[in-house]
Structure 1
Amino acid sequence: MVNKKKRHHLLRLLLVFFSMNVVWYIAYLLINHTILPSPLAVYSALIHLEGKEIWLHVCYSLFRIFAGVLLALMIGMSIGLIMGRSRIWNKILDPVVYLTYPIPKIALLPVVMLFFGLGEISKILMIMLILLFQVIISVRDGVKAIPDNTYDVLTSIGASTTQKFWHVTLPGALSVILSTIRISLGTAISVLFFTEIYGTEHGMGFFIMDAWLRMDYTEMYAGIMLFSLVGFVLFLLVDYLDYKFMKWRN
């Protein structure tokens, strides 16, 4: 039954992918201009990108994404757990979170670059800022949603605070963390693209903009396709982690 569902899901993905390429090809025929190359030309360019240090660009982008996500998880989980388990800290930090959360984080890019320069730190910090508040709020709400009698049961059998954390609090928080990362990942990758335009010679954002400036539109679209593929693989990785660690939900 599970394998059948996976096959149907894969078939739907392939059908959508095929349909998107058909629409793309029709648009290519209608526009009939170099600004929109055919899908076959882009896929051919994608295959031949390896000679242009493309994997170095991919590795730089992946490092920035993973570093930003890791920072957001470390800080966000700590604050969210404190807010979720302590009413006093929740009252203190709740106004701070709600006043700063609505600020569009992409608007802080010039400020971050002023304080931390154009190097790696500013790029990583921007990704961290995008994810941080979602992680804080999700973890806090996830911990609050855990029924108190769950802890009472563990207390009655002599469980320690650490055991309560590992067996109740963390699983409850992890579920919402993975959902938050899945939702925010696309935004984080978009922000990464903007940050890689400035002060760097490596990264997928730089590669795409460099191709655009050279008016090599086929290579530009190939870079966009590869960047999208990186995001898709990261999305699948989060799905795998959800399947691996959240089996108890089924």
Structure 2
Amino acid sequence: MKGIQHTLLSYAAAAVFLLALWWAIALLLALPIVPTPDKVLVRLAHIFSRDIFAHAAWSLWRIAAGLGLAVCVGYPLGVLMGYFRRADRYLSPVVYLTYPIPKIALLPILMLLAGVGELSKILMIFLIIVFQVIVAVRDAIRTLPEERYAPLYSLGASFAQVFRFVILPASLPKFITAVRVAMATAVSVLFFTETFGTQYGMGYYIMDAWLRVNYLEMYAGILVLSAMGLLLFGLIDVFERAACRWQRK
């Protein structure tokens, strides 16, 4: 409980510091394109439930769908490559050849194949996360010495039991770290993809406010997007605390 309170206090202190810095910059510049945070927060309170909430919900749905698909595909592939050397020998060249490709460069291809609707946006999130999941899980499992498995198999353990008690605990920390690192990139790319072929999403909302020269709503959208990122990272931390209890000091 004390750890949670300390974390919340640290986040609150960081938020106060950033708001104070924003306020100082706005007062120093005295330009309409940089409003003070109090005006933005008041505007956000007026339009959140009426307008921004729907855009935030659509963005969160796309991230959740892309993340879920990446986990369902990437984690089993990572286990397969990490545990079975032959599978790693055949699959690693494919991963290494496709992983370095900038995923945003594939957006036109995805839009041509999957359309400009939801599928192309979800697939873009999927492509950003899945490779990091595969590599992280594979590397975590490959660090385990083979002697770790031999006693279990000699006692009659099945692969399912070895996976549950050895492979899963060994791979979870790096898997969670990979998702955490990829999440920031996924949110950034989602912002870009939401400017095409949709009328819902935080990317669309922020760009629409900018084109309408409505800076208060533009900054309100940026605040909500930042809060979404904080929410996602917080959920990942909660999952890590629950799933990796042995790492607590």
- TM class, shorter-length: over 0.9
Partner of 1:11: 9
- The superposition leaves residues 43-90 of structure 1 with CA deviations (integer Å, 9 ceiling, x where unpaired) of 111211235332221111111001100111111112111110111111
Counterpart position of 1:70? 68
Shifted more, 149-158 versus 139-148: the winner is: 149-158
TM-aligned CA deviation for residue 28 of structure 1:
0.6
Which residue of structure 2 lines up, in the alignment, with residue 152 of structure 1? 150
The counterpart of 1:138, out of the listed 128, 136, 139, is 136
One-letter amino acid of the counterpart of residue 60, structure 1: W
Which residue, 198, 206, 211 being the options, matches 1:208? 206
SS state of the match for residue 59, structure 1?
A: helix
CA shift at 1:137, angstroms?
A: 0.3
Give how far 1:10 is off: 3.4
How do 1:62-211 residues align onto structure 2 when only pairs under 5 Å count?
62-211=60-209
Deviation at 1:153, TM superposition (A): 2.8
Structure 1 residue runs of 5 or longer lacking an equivalent are: none
CA distance in structure 1 between the partners assigned to 2:76 and 2:58 by the alignment: 27
Q: Secondary structure at the match of 2:149?
A: helix
Q: Distance in 1 between matches of 2:168 and 2:4?
A: 29
> Which moves more between the two structures, 120-129 or 97-106?
97-106
Per-residue deviation, 1:221: 0.4
**Which amino acid is the alignment partner of residue 158 of structure 1?**
G
Please state whether the residue corresponding to 2:144 is helix, strand or coil: coil
Deviation at 1:230, TM superposition (A): 0.9
Equivalences, count:
248
Distance of 2:148 and 2:247 partners within structure 1: 16
Structure 1 stretch 70-79 or stretch 150-159: which is displaced more? 150-159
In the alignment, structure 2 segments of 5+ residues that lack a partner are none
1:227 and 1:11 mapped to 2: Cα distance?
21
Write the distance in 2 (CA, Å) between the matches of 1:124 and 1:178. 20
SS in structure 2 of the partner of residue 53 of structure 1: helix
Relative to structure 1, is the Cα distance of residues 90 and 8 closer, same or farther in structure 2, using a 3 angstrom cutoff? same
% identical aligned pairs: 46
> Which residue is 2:246 aligned to?
248
Q: 2:201 and 2:93 mapped to 1: Cα distance?
A: 37
- 1:159 CA displacement: 1.6
Q: Distance in 2 between matches of 1:87 and 1:76?
A: 17
CA deviation map 1:176-234 (0-9, x unaligned)? 11111111111101111111111001111111111111111001100110111011011
- For 1:178 and 1:49, how far apart are their aligned partners in 2? 35
TM, length-normalised to structure 1: 0.94
CA distance in structure 2 between the aligned counterparts of 1:36 and 1:165, rounded to whole angstroms: 53
Deviates further, 169-178 or 213-222: 169-178
How many Å separate the matches in 2 of 1:157 and 1:87?
23
Distance 2:38 2:80 in 1: 53
**Range moving further from structure 2, 147-156 or 160-169:** 147-156
In angstroms, what is the RMSD of aligned CA positions? 1.5
Output the TM-score relative to the length of structure 2: 0.94
Q: Which residue number in structure 2 is paired with residue 220 of structure 1?
A: 218
Q: CA deviation at 1:152?
A: 2.0
**TM-superposed deviation, 1:7:** 4.1
